[in-house]
Amino acid sequence: MALFVSFEGGEGSGKSTQAKALYRRLLEIGIPVVLCHEPGTTPMGRRVRRLLKSPSGIEISPFAELFLIAAARAQLVTELICPNLERGTTVVCDRYADSTAAYQGYGRGIDMKVIQIVNNSAIQGVLPDLVILLDIPVEVGLARKKLAKLDRFEAEEVGFHQRVRSGYLEIARADPQRWLVIDATLPKAEIRSRVWDRVKDLL
């Protein structure tokens, strides 16, 4: 059975590291799997990513940001996610639609009804079987980024990141069967183990 697993979390939560670790583990045991990230992966998605993440001073309104991300997601679903799931290949995605609810909804303040309409249009009914939220205190996550060049999202004020974290936790509480919340301050090996225990059960 092909699984669709997405990783979510705030800045510095380690979700990209854990998504790659799960991808490698699945490959090692012979399960066909692809790894993707948002926005990005497709040629169109990579262009949108550069535009959205670059601290170039270009003004991007919250609604423009929402639609750019949705456009990249729609392309990813059509070009990569759906075809792979249909042929029985597991998909591991670093961010997906729940990022939009957390960042553009809770973080930017766009009405959640609008977020839902845009998200539903972009994902074409394709939802993850499992969403893994790596939850981390905002100050800890941002401290992990302090030596790196900050992108547009990382450079936002602390209040924005607090709203994003609160949003993620609220979304996860509303759907506990599909979400796995893990303390992202745990050792990486412990996080990998908890992720694998849940994925193994689904497999």
Q: Which residues of the chain have pLDDT under 70?
A: 55-57, 146-148
SS3 content of the chain, % helix, strand, coil (to 5): 55, 15, 30
Q: Per the structure block, which two tokens stand in for 38?
A: 């948002």
pLDDT for position 56: 66
Question: Which positions ≥6 away from 55 have C-beta within 8 Å?
Answer: 149, 150, 151, 152, 155
Total structural domains within the chain: 1
Q: Enter the DSSP assignment of 125.
A: T
pLDDT for position 145: 78
The boundaries of the domain holding residue 153 are 4-202
Q: How far apart, in whole angstroms, are the C-alpha atoms of residue 20 and residue 145? A: 19
Strand order in the sheet with 179-183: 33-37, 90-94, 4-9, 130-135, 179-183
pLDDT for position 151: 83
pLDDT for position 59: 87
CATH number at residue 13: 3.40.50.300
pLDDT for position 12: 92
Phi first, then psi, for residue 29 (nearest 5°) are -100, 10
pLDDT for position 169: 98
Tell me the CA distances in angstroms from 11 to 25, 137, 163, 202, one per residue in order: 24, 10, 12, 27
pLDDT for position 84: 97
**Average per-residue pLDDT in the chain?**
94
